[in-house]
Amino acid sequence: MKLPRQLLLTTVRLFVLLLVCQPLFAQPVMETGGQAMPDEWIDKDTKHRVVKLTRMPGRSNLSFYFHNNPFIGNKMVFYSSNKNKTDSIAKQEISSAISPNRQIHLLDLKTLKSEQLTNHSLPMNGEIVDAKNGFVYYQIKDSVYSVNVKTKDVSLIYVFPDDFKASITTVNANGTLLGGSKSDDKEKEILRQNPGKGSYFNLIYDAKLPRTLFTINVKTGALDKLFTDSAWLNHVQFSSTDPDLLMFCHEGPWHKVNRIWTINIKTKDTTLIHKRTMDMEIAGHEWFAPNGKTIWFDLQTPRSVKFFVAGTNLKTGNETRYELQRNEWSIHFNCNEDESLFCGDGGDPGQVARAQDGRWVYLFKPNGDHFDATRLVNMKHHNYKLEPNVHFSPDGKWIIFRANFEGIENVYAVEIKQ
């Protein structure tokens, strides 16, 4: 029997519509976590699409700390460990959880294919990507290495001498210098005897032991000792655009320190970025905007009462503040290239904000003097002993984070557009 023309056209249109919409229908709407998740799903509480980026069953996969750039073009550097040989990192302080078998991997964000770049038998640390020249730097004991992401060639860059055992943490904008800080042996002993952050944090601050900021020339191996102070110099980061500007903090209880500083590595001039103005005010978890114009940080005036993301313009010294609500406070924040959007990784009730409903990945849009917040992922099944550490994807369309809501650590991306 021959179908009427109008009915035939309607049938064809419906068939085409089904083909076009099939990818959407294929993504289940689910509660995020508390179970094994598919490769893609729609978070039932936010209606945003979530994609599992690291698809390596049985392995613990971790993206980088929030202020460490992991991207080279459209590829992302991350760490992967054999889960069978290490305890869950989610149960430990992340700063001390260095798996003896974790290796550096590279993920193509378009194809989601990953490749292993290193193969060492000893524990490594360092989340240092030279995106300009295509190298990843890391450290094993007293030796600093680089791996070329294209050729996978590994090179020994530097060996710290016996009288200057230190750690690298950053590379400058043109890839010529590595930076870091050297701690006193007495500080290392405090840390060894008191491995939990709740134990060592005040002890190291109160000890007032000397620390030294330094750089290493990656070509010549020249070591330059920049600055020494009887303070806990930490969180060392090079500017994302200025190869001569290094940021560091005076670590310790945030309400006791004027934390955020920069140093010009040529002139050795230091500058305080934000000065505390009241009792119990805190500022910290600082980062350079990708365009290098601003240093942003978590600001509370006073602690646990009023919450802001604040930024100091490095050219003018002017400070911008965006207020946010208690439940929107995040352990770490980040921003996109032009500072028009921000993101946060939320926090559980045990964090400084004491938020009762703060376990979300957030997108923030500046609106006058405050943020308008959008919830992207429900993180109620995530154990916040592992900090999610949010990053904007290179194309600015996704927020990338790490989580353990499936019972194992993996790296995920949530789409900003709904």
| Torsion sign, CA atoms 401, 403, 409, 414 | negative
Say if residues 258 and 272 touch (Cβ distance below 8 Å): yes
Report the CATH number of the 45-415 domain.
2.130.10.10
pLDDT per residue of the chain (418 residues) written in tens, 0 to 9:
454 556 545 544 544 444 444 444 579 999 999 999 999 999 999 999 999 999 999 899 999 999 999 999 999 999 999 865 434 444 443 433 456 689 999 999 999 999 999 999 999 999 999 999 999 999 999 999 999 999 999 999 999 999 999 999 999 999 999 999 999 999 999 999 998 877 899 999 999 999 999 999 999 999 999 999 999 999 999 999 999 999 999 999 999 999 999 999 999 999 999 999 999 999 999 999 999 999 999 999 999 999 999 999 999 999 999 999 999 999 999 999 999 999 999 999 999 999 999 999 999 999 999 999 999 999 999 999 999 999 999 999 999 999 999 999 999 999 999 8
How do the domains of the chain map onto residue ranges? 45-415
Return the H-helix or E-strand segment holding 138: strand 135-140
Task: Compute φ and ψ for 188, nearest 5 degrees.
Answer: -60, -35
Return the ∠ at Cα 332 (arms to 352 and 263), rounded to 5°: 105
**Angle at CA 319, nearest 5°, toward 313 and 324?**
120
pTM, entire model: 0.90
Per the CB < 8 A criterion, the answer to whether 333 and 342 are in contact is yes
How far the first Cα of the chain sits from its last, in Å, is 44
